Amino acid sequence: MNKGFVVWITGLPGSGKTTIARGVAEKLRQKGLKVELLDGDEVRRWLSPEAGFTREDRTRHLIRVAHVAKLLARNGVIVIASFVSPYRDVRRKAREIVEGEGIPFIEVYVECSLEECIRRDPKGLYKRALRGEIKHMTGIDDPYESPENPEVKVNTEKYSANENIRRVMREIEKII
């Protein structure tokens, strides 16, 4: 492959994005492909350590991520980008940045109810937001705008991680 592509995984915090992203990355690596996983918390630390969680900060950060993803994909790397990325317009801009280079972009929506995400709360963020300790928490006092036409929609309440990974891989197989 001369060019890679970008799989942009979006969903509420705690929806299961990272689990799916890691699973897809592993399946692709098993095929001998070059894969880079860009995961929200990790990338924020090294790419946008100054960024908060306001709409403006999130937008600036995600545009940076889109440019990094584009550069990697342009050089033959498959990029799995796992970010809450709550706003449709910012995801649209990320798609434009990537596709503007002729690089395929697959949007994956990890659907999970807010109630289930709060129940899971792997990092304790929802509890803290509900106590007023965290501001701009997606799903609590900041909106999450579900994708209108993602290439893939998975549901982590209805299907297992393995089934959801298989669904994403079916879409990826169309490219590779």
Q: How far is CA 123 from CA 15, 23, 98, 127, 174, in A?
A: 12, 20, 31, 9, 35
- Helix intervals (H) in the chain: 17-30, 40-47, 55-74, 88-99, 114-120, 125-130, 161-173
Q: Catalytic site residues?
A: 85
Q: pLDDT of 32-63, one tens digit each?
A: 999 999 998 787 777 777 777 889 989 999 99
What's the rounded Cα separation, in Å, for the pair 57 and 52? 6
Q: What is the pLDDT of residue 160?
A: 98
CA-nearest of 39, 6, 45 to 21 is 39
**Domains (range + CATH), the chain:** 6-173 (3.40.50.300)
139, two tokens: 């799903």
Q: pLDDT of 55-101, one tens digit each?
A: 998 999 999 999 999 999 999 999 999 999 999 999 999 999 999 99
User: What percentage of the chain carries pLDDT values higher than 70?
Assistant: 99
The pTM (predicted TM-score) of the whole model is 0.95
Q: How far is CA 98 from CA 79, 86, 111, 115, 127, in A?
A: 11, 18, 23, 33, 36
Provide long-range contacts, Cβ within 8 A and 24+ apart, for 132-141: 135/53, 136/52, 136/53, 136/54, 136/55, 137/13, 137/53, 138/12, 138/13, 138/84, 138/86, 139/12, 139/13, 139/114
Secondary structure class of 159 (helix, strand, coil):
coil
